[in-house]
Amino acid sequence: MSSKAELLQLLEPSAEKWPLPSREEIVRGYGSALPADYMWLAETYGPMEISRYLSIFPPLAASEIGTRSGVFPISAELSEFPEENKGLEPAYLKPGGLLMWGFNQNDDVVFWSPVGDPDTWPVVIRRDLPRSGPNWTRYDFGIVEFLVRTFHGRLAGNPFSGGDLWNNRSPTVERG
């Protein structure tokens, strides 16, 4: 079963469709297309909050980037505490080295590392309060597969500081 089909079984899509910017507007704003699985997610669910924990931003037209909440380019910053830089890749420090697509109630932040073909961009998590392991973790698959694996507990460990989504077989979705 595909990750999209699994996600549809776990999360009921909204009956209301979300108007998305055109591909041309997205390319003009972000300098490239966004991952196809994310565009499917945005079209199917719109801006959303999963289980009152993870907020996922919508794609924005070029003229909207920086003026309202939505996917936006950012660069990581080195922490003065070396242990907080564990897993931080040098590419993330460059201007626009990350595209932020969401955050959660524990101040964990979710990104893509926008290098190469958008459909191969890895998901990158910066955990604010890691109990163990690195603050920065990279997952070499897309957003939909990342969500499904998180809900089914099919990652090496919980990607977030809190347990709201980890191995959660009945997540809920609310319009963001």
pLDDT-based confidence at residue 112 (cuts at 50, 70, 90)? very high
- Lowest-pLDDT range of 24-33, 78-87, 93-102, 119-128: 78-87
Q: Is the pLDDT of residue 110 over 80?
A: yes
Q: Which residues contact 37 (CB under 8 A, 6 or more apart)?
A: 3, 4, 119, 142, 143, 144, 145
Q: Is the pLDDT of residue 156 over 90?
A: yes
- Lowest-pLDDT range of 2-6, 28-32, 66-70, 96-100: 66-70
What is the per-residue pLDDT across 51-79, written as a single tens digit (0 to 9) for each? 999 999 999 999 999 898 899 999 999 98
Alpha-carbon distance values, 31 to 24, 72, 95, 159 (Å): 10, 11, 13, 28
User: Which burial class, exposed, middle or buried, applies to 83 when counting CB atoms under 10 A from its CB (0-12, 13-18, 19+)?
Assistant: exposed
Domain boundaries, the chain: 3-175
Average pLDDT, the chain: 93
What is the pLDDT, as a whole number, of residue 176?
Answer: 67
Dist CA 46 CA 58 (whole Å): 7
Q: Is the pLDDT of residue 130 over 90?
A: no
Q: Is the pLDDT of residue 30 over 90?
A: yes
Taking alpha carbons only, the member of 38, 46, 51, 42 closest to residue 170 is 51
Contact between 29 and 60 (Cβ < 8 Å): yes
Q: Is the pLDDT of residue 159 over 90?
A: yes
**What global pTM score does this model have?**
0.94
